[in-house]
């Protein structure tokens, strides 16, 4: 069990995102953010033309919450993909999960990239050069296949190498637009890829989706203790923020040679790995996904690994994870994956 929250932390996690005030001047360099509780009161606010505006801005419920709820009313399942640490293959796993769900031609899947400063989903999906189409109805996602759409800030950047140097409020505002303005339409699954940690983006997604409902989070780790250390913090964050944990996935759990099928432990689980951690924390263990160099190649070329190598151990492991996630969200695994898809 996680430690009890003090009242201030509990209120911060539960508070909905605030409507941004109309500022009369650009935000100063050390601005705490117009949506911050310290807006208009911190030392950085002294002498700022916006000080009185920010200090008197209403602190009530975000008026955009009902709009987001209405926009996402046709999305049946919303799944967060989290990890407390970078480099565990979370974005790669998100694309594998989305592609696996989309192998069923009767399912429509979306993937939303909330890693504002490090967007990688468009590259992995093979749509890096696409742009967003804006109409009177909102923003249209970029469709990777007939039943798989994607949304990312990368589609808005003039150059693929442009850095996004934004503070929290501006990142939160874009995430709100992804939820409020994107015409997702009827989706069976919306996979939300998040950046590492437990910061602004995670709080924004959680507060903005609270009314429309989130099925839960899939937490990704690797076997080493240095990764498990941060994953424990991520699990604690989910419990404090009221996010249901669908389960834990151990990525890069071993290397399976594509030729001889022998498995080697590249990252040895010195403390028992993800399976033992899941047991200790009392959460479901969804499965282990082995290393396969072809996964990295598929992401580099923007191809679907599960479509190109359906019989590989990694693909079978991903399919097993999809079946486990399906059970956690109340779906029949045999209906989520088509009958022709090999499963273990």
pLDDT (tens digit, 9 = 90+) per residue, 97-149? Answer: 999 999 999 999 999 999 999 899 999 999 999 998 888 888 999 999 999 99
- What pLDDT is recorded for position 35? 64
According to DSSP, the residues that pair with 135 across neighbouring strands are: 138
- What pLDDT is recorded for position 321? 96
- What pLDDT is recorded for position 206? 86
Q: Flag residues of the chain having pLDDT under 70.
A: 1-30, 33-37, 57-61, 258, 339-344
- What pLDDT is recorded for position 269? 77
- What pLDDT is recorded for position 24? 64
245-256/263-264 β-pairing: antiparallel
- In angstroms, rounded to a whole number, what is the distance separating the alpha carbons of residues 143 and 74? 17
- What pLDDT is recorded for position 27? 66
CATH architecture of 65-336: 3-Layer(aba) Sandwich (3.40)
- What pLDDT is recorded for position 250? 95
The domain locations on the chain are: 31-60, 65-336
- The model carries a pTM of 0.81
- What pLDDT is recorded for position 39? 74
- What pLDDT is recorded for position 71? 93
- What pLDDT is recorded for position 45? 82
- What pLDDT is recorded for position 281? 94
Max Cα–Cα distance, the chain, nearest Å: 69
User: Number of C-alpha atoms within 13 angstroms, CB side, residue 113?
Assistant: 27
- What pLDDT is recorded for position 60? 56
Residue listed under structure tokens 């389960």 = 247
């Amino acid at each position: 069990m996680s430690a009890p929250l003090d009242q201030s932390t509990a209120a911060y996690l539960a508070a909905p995102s605030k409507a941004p005030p109309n500022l009369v001047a650009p935000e100063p360099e050390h601005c705490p953010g117009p949506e911050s509780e310290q807006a208009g009161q911190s030392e950085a606010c002294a002498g700022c033309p916006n000080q009185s505006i920010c200090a008197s801005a209403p602190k009530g419920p975000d008026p955009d919450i009902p709009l987001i709820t209405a926009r996402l009313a046709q999305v049946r399942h919303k799944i967060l993909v989290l990890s407390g640490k970078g480099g565990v293959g979370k974005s790669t796993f998100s694309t594998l999960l989305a592609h696996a769900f989309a192998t069923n031609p009767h399912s429509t899947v979306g993937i939303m990239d909330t890693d504002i400063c490090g967007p990688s989903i468009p590259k992995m999906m093979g749509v890096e050069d696409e742009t967003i189409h804006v109409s009177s109805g909102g923003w249209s996602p970029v469709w990777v296949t007939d039943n798989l759409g994607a949304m990312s800030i990368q589609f808005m950047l003039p150059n693929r190498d442009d850095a996004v140097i934004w503070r929290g409020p501006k990142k939160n505002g874009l995430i709100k637009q992804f939820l409020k303005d994107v015409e997702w339409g009827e989706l069976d699954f919306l996979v939300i890829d998040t950046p590492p940690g437990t910061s602004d983006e995670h709080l924004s997604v959680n507060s903005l989706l609270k009314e429309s409902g989130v099925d839960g989070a899939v937490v990704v780790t690797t076997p080493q203790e240095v990764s498990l250390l941060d994953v424990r913090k991520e699990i604690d964050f989910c419990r404090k923020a009221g996010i249901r944990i669908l389960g834990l996935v151990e990525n890069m759990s071993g290397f399976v040679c594509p030729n001889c099928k022998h498995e080697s432990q590249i990252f040895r689980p010195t403390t028992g790995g993800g399976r033992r951690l899941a047991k200790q924390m009392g959460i479901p263990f969804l499965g282990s996904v082995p290393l396969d160099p072809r996964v990295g190649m598929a992401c580099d070329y923007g191809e679907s690994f599960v479509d190109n190598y359906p019989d590989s151990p990694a693909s079978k492991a991903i399919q097993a994870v999809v079946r486990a996630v399906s059970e956690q969200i109340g779906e029949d695994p045999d209906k989520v994956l088509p009958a022709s898809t090999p499963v273990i």
